[in-house]
Structure 1
Amino acid sequence: MAGKTFLKSTLAISLLLIVLTFSATAHAKIIYVDADAAGANNGSSWPDAFNYLQDALSDAYSGEEIHVAKGTYKPDQGSGVTPGDPEATFQLINGVTIKGGYAGLGEPDQNARNIQLYETILTGDLDGDDVDANDPRDLLDEPTRSENSYHVVTGSGTDETAVLDGFTITGGNSNGDFSPNWKGGGIRNYLGSPTLTNCTITRNSSWLEGGGMFNVGSPMLMLTNCTFSNNYSDYSGGGMYNTGRYSNVTLINCTFSGNFADYEGGGLYSGYSKYNSPKLTNCAFTGNTSGARAGGMYNTGDSTLTNCTFTGNSADWEAGGMFNDGSSPTLTNCTFIGNSAGENGGAIYNFGPFGTPTLTNCTFSNNSADNGGGIYCIHESNMTVTNCIMWGNMATQGNEIALNNFWDEGILYPATITVRYSDVEGGVSEVFVDTGCTLNWDDGNIDDDPCFVQPGYWDANGVWVDGDYHILADSPCVDAGDPNYIAEPNETDLDGRPRVIGGRIDMGAYEYMPSIPAEARILPRTINLASKGKWITCYIRLPEGYTVADIDPNSVFLQDEVKPESLLLNEQQQVATARFSREDVQPILKAGEVELKITGRLTDGTVFEGTDMIKVINKAGKK
Structure 2
Amino acid sequence: MFKKFIYSTLVIICLIITQQVYSNSTKSVNTIEGGAIIYVDLNASGNNDGTDWVNAFTSVQNAVNAAASGDEIHIAEGTYLEGAEILITLPMTLKGGYPTGGGVQNIDSYSTILSGNYLNRVIFSSHSTGTLNIEGLTITKGRLNNGGTLFGGGVYSNGNIKFSHVNINDNTLADNSTIGNKFAYGAGIYGQSEVVILNSVIDNNRLGIDSDSGYARTKGGGVYSAISLIIINSTITNNLSNATSFSNNAASIAEGGGVYCDNTVIIANSLLKSNKARTAHTCNGVTDCNFTTTHPETRGGGAVGFITSNNSIITGNIIESSSETGSITALDGGGLYGILSLNNSIVWGNTNLVDGFESPDEYFGSLTSSYSLIKGENPAGSGNIDATNPGFDPLFVDETSGNFRLQAASTLKDSGNNSLLPLDDYDIDYDGNTTEPLPIDFDGGQRVFDTTVDIGPFEFQSYLGIAKNATVSGSEVTFDYYIENFSTSSLSNISLTDSLDDIFGMGNYTIITPPFQVANGGTITLNPGYDGSADTNMFTAMSSTFNGLATAQFRMTVDITHVVDQGFGLGNYLSQIEIQAEDMGKSSVIYQTVEQTPIQTEITFLQKPVKMIQPYLAMTLI
Q: TM-score, normalised by structure 1?
A: 0.58
Alignment of 1:251-270 (within 5 A): 251-263=231-243, 264-265=254-255, 267-270=257-260
Match of 2:156 among 188, 192, 197: 188
Given the alignment of the two structures, is residue 226 of structure 1 paired with residue 200 of structure 2, yes or no? yes
Aligned residues: percent identity? 22
Deviation readout 1:451-495 (Å, 9 max, x if unpaired): 6365735xxxxxx5646545628x6x889999xx97679588977
Alignment of 1:562-601 (within 5 A): 570-571=544-545, 573-574=547-548, 592=571, 594=573
Shift of 1:450: 5.8
Match of 2:465 among 518, 538, 556: 518
Which residue matches 1:85? none
Which residue matches 2:20? none
Given the alignment of the two structures, is residue 286 of structure 1 paired with residue 268 of structure 2, yes or no? no
Partner Cα separation in structure 2 for residue 361 and residue 347 of structure 1: 20
Match of 2:302 among 288, 297, 312: 297
Given the alignment of the two structures, is residue 452 of structure 1 paired with residue 405 of structure 2, yes or no? no
8 Å CA contact retained: 1:212, 1:228 = no
Partner Cα separation in structure 2 for residue 52 and residue 364 of structure 1: 49
Name the Cα RMSD after superposition: 5.2
Can you give the 5+ residue segments of structure 1 that lack an aligned partner in the other structure? Answer: 1-23, 77-87, 126-144, 366-372, 376-382, 390-421, 427-447, 458-463, 531-535, 580-586, 617-623
Alignment of 1:214-253 (within 5 A): 214-218=189-193, 220-234=194-208, 235-237=217-219, 239-244=221-226, 247-253=227-233
Given the alignment of the two structures, is residue 122 of structure 1 paired with residue 114 of structure 2, yes or no? yes
Task: Read off the aligned partner of 2:373 and give its amino acid letter.
Answer: T
3-state secondary structure, aligned to 2:151: coil
3-state secondary structure, aligned to 2:62: helix
Partner Cα separation in structure 1 for residue 33 and residue 415 of structure 2: 54
Given the alignment of the two structures, is residue 163 of structure 1 paired with residue 133 of structure 2, yes or no? yes
Which residue matches 2:389? 425
Range moving further from structure 2, 336-345 or 36-45 = 336-345
Shift of 1:243: 4.5
8 Å CA contact retained: 1:92, 1:154 = yes
8 Å CA contact retained: 1:307, 1:493 = no
Given the alignment of the two structures, is residue 332 of structure 1 paired with residue 322 of structure 2, yes or no? no
Number of equivalent positions: 446
Task: Read off the aligned partner of 1:341 and give its amino acid letter.
Answer: N
Partner Cα separation in structure 2 for residue 102 and residue 612 of structure 1: 51
Partner Cα separation in structure 1 for residue 169 and residue 394 of structure 2: 38
Partner Cα separation in structure 2 for residue 159 and residue 557 of structure 1: 64
Partner Cα separation in structure 1 for residue 415 and residue 564 of structure 2: 37
Q: TM-score, normalised by structure 2?
A: 0.58
Distance 1:25 1:341, change over 3 A: closer
Distance 1:211 1:589, change over 3 A: farther
Shift of 1:204: 0.6
* Larger RCO, structure (CA 8 Å, separation 6 or more): 2
Partner Cα separation in structure 2 for residue 478 and residue 456 of structure 1: 16
8 Å CA contact retained: 1:230, 1:260 = yes
Match of 2:124 among 139, 154, 158: 154
3-state secondary structure, aligned to 1:58: helix
3-state secondary structure, aligned to 1:310: strand
Shift of 1:55: 0.9
Alignment of 1:345-424 (within 5 A): 346-351=360-365, 356-365=366-375, 384-389=380-385, 422-424=386-388
Task: Read off the aligned partner of 1:315 and give its amino acid letter.
Answer: I
Shift of 1:238: 5.1
Which residue matches 1:212? 187
Distance 1:30 1:497, change over 3 A: closer
Partner Cα separation in structure 2 for residue 537 and residue 25 of structure 1: 56
Distance 1:256 1:589, change over 3 A: farther
Given the alignment of the two structures, is residue 323 of structure 1 paired with residue 336 of structure 2, yes or no? yes
Which protein has the bigger strand share? Answer: 2
8 Å CA contact retained: 2:258, 2:275 = no
8 Å CA contact retained: 2:32, 2:72 = no
Partner Cα separation in structure 2 for residue 287 and residue 102 of structure 1: 32
Partner Cα separation in structure 1 for residue 168 and residue 349 of structure 2: 25
3-state secondary structure, aligned to 2:360: coil
Given the alignment of the two structures, is residue 58 of structure 1 paired with residue 65 of structure 2, yes or no? yes
Partner Cα separation in structure 2 for residue 295 and residue 537 of structure 1: 56
Can you give the 5+ residue segments of structure 2 that lack an aligned partner in the other structure? Answer: 1-30, 175-182, 209-216, 244-253, 280-297, 322-330, 422-435, 504-535, 555-561, 592-602, 604-611
Match of 1:313 among 314, 317, 326: 317
Distance 1:595 1:513, change over 3 A: farther
